[in-house]
Structure formats: structure tokens, C-alpha cells
Amino acid sequence: GRRVTVRDLARAKQSGEKWPMLTAYDSMIASVFDEAGIPVLLVGDSAGNNHLGYENTIPVTVDQLVMLTGAVVRGTQRALVVADLPFGSYQVSPAQALETGARFLKEAGAGAVKLEGGVAMVPQVEALVTAGIPVMAHIGLTPQSVNVLGGYRVQGRGDEAAAQLLADAKAMQAAGAFAVVLELVPAELAAKVTAQLDIPTVGIGAGSGCDAQVLVWTDMAGLTPGRLPKFVKQYLDLRGALGDAAREFAADVVGGSYPGPEHAFH
Ligand code: KIV
Ligand code: NA
């Protein structure tokens, strides 16, 4: 089989089919999700927090994300792999966005890129799409702007902010984006945006009215330490299970029960 394409996602919107998206930062985890039938995998700059040990997404570099994206592409056969454009790698100009975006397709084999921002990023989205690089937009809470927003809180509250969010979504669609992520947006507003767009909306903390839903894989699998945001559903306790496995291995080694005769060569 072939990979999922942006056309498949456009068709899903028309037929009202919802679809899931997960982040992935490495080859093996990506292969698990690919085999599970997740149609779109995002090599998010949330790799900064969840893979590289940074406090937020700001420090993530293009070189880092190109490397992780290549790994995810090599681990998958069917998923559309979308790569985040890191902070500072596209805002300068449409030319900068095109140079960065092209690296993700040429060097990593990504099928599309994602960037944060609405109306202000129209020239970037137009340049990318014109050059043949599919773009997923990301509006609402945009983590690369955490220092301007002053934290990770719900966006689009109030008439003015809601109107701006709708305008941002429509501008991204008009510029040629194939989908738009709505992060931390009131459910009613996300549903309204979804109804007014021809392209799919991908919600995260945006209620059930979106066309698709995305979660950070380490959140949904219970690997992320500490308290999770309210919108996350945790499907597994991977941190607990892996910790138990490590403690059991340690106890076996210390107690001499591993390796057993069946693990040895004679
Ligand atoms: O980097 C990321 O994980 C994302 C998703 C939360 C949409 O941008
Ligand atoms: Na991101």
C-alpha cells in the first residue's frame, strides 16, 4: 500500500469520517502507531519537551527535528508524516519557510509540514504550498509563542478573540493549508470553525466537534511525568510498566536469577 495523502484527508472531511493523529519522535514507536492504523503522525516540536529534555519547544532546531522526522519516516509505511517547523525557522520570510520546509521533504522524507500562526503566516503558507509542500496550520494556543502568551491557557475566549481565531482559520484555508490544528480552544468555537471550513480541523483540547483529534503520544500512553492537562485521556501507564520492568531486571541481576541457564551459551 501507499501512504495516506492530503487528498485522503480532504475526502474524509467530505464524508464526515473522523481520524486520529499522534505525535512520534522515533522509528520504533512510529512503527507501532503505523501498524495500529494511525493515518497521520506528527513529528512535533513537542519533541523538545518529550524527547530532548527541554522545558518547552523554543530550543528545538531544524537539524534535530529533521533527524527525528527521518527516523519516523523510516519506521512507517502507511502514515502521512507531518513535521513541525521549529521556532525561528519560518517566521522571518516566505523564503526562509521554503528553505526549511524543503529540508523536511528532501532530507527526511516528510509528506507535509506544520507551522504555527494565522493571518500573519499567510505568505509563508502560500510560498510552501506553491512550491509543493503541503502545510498543516496550527492556531489557538501556539506553544512557540508561550513567552508572548504568558502561559498555556485556553485561547479564543470572548467575542473578539473568537472572531480572530475564525479569521486565522479561514486565512490558513485560503492560503492553501490542507488542515488546521486548533489547540486549547472552547469546544463551541472549535465546532463553529470546523463547520465553516472545507479543510479538516485537528483538535487538541478543543472538544469533540473537530474533524480529527491529536494527542502527544507520551501523554496518551502515560509516559509523561507529572500532572497531565485536563484534555488528555491516558490510555496506558507506560511509565509505571517500564519502571516495574526496570526494577524487576535490577532485582534479578542483584539476586543472581538473571541470566538463567536458558540465557547462556555453552
Ligand atoms: O508539537 C506538537 O506535539 C504539536 C501538537 C500538540 C499539535 O504541535
Ligand atoms: Na508543535
Q: What is the pLDDT of residues 115-163, one digit of tens each?
A: 999 999 999 999 999 999 999 999 999 999 999 999 999 999 999 999 9
Residue 214: its pLDDT value, please?
A: 99
Residue 202: its pLDDT value, please?
A: 99
Domain assignment present for 196: yes
Q: Which domain holds residue 36?
A: 6-220
**70, containing H or E segment:** helix 62-74
Percent of the chain at pLDDT > 70 equals 100
Q: What are residue 218's phi and psi, to 5 degrees?
A: -70, -25
Calculate mean pLDDT across residues 251-263.
98
Domain assignment present for 226: no
Distance of CA 66 to the CA centre of its chain: 14
Domains: count for the chain: 1
Residue 1: its pLDDT value, please?
A: 75
Q: What is the pLDDT of residues 83-122, one digit of tens each?
A: 999 999 999 999 999 999 999 999 999 999 999 999 999 9
Q: Ligand 1, closest atom to CA 216? A: 3
Ligand 1 binding pocket includes 84 (Cβ within 6 Å): yes
Known catalytic residue: 183? Answer: yes
**CATH number where 140 lies:** 3.20.20.60
The span from the CA of 266 to the CA of 184, in Å, is: 59
Q: Ligand 1, closest atom to CA 143? A: 8
Which residues on neighbouring strands pair with residue 115, listed in sequence order? Answer: 137
Ligand 1 binding pocket includes 41 (Cβ within 6 Å): no
Q: What is the pLDDT of residues 43-64, one digit of tens each?
A: 999 999 999 999 999 999 999 9
Burial tier of 146 (Cβ tally within 10 Å: 0-12, 13-18, 19+): middle
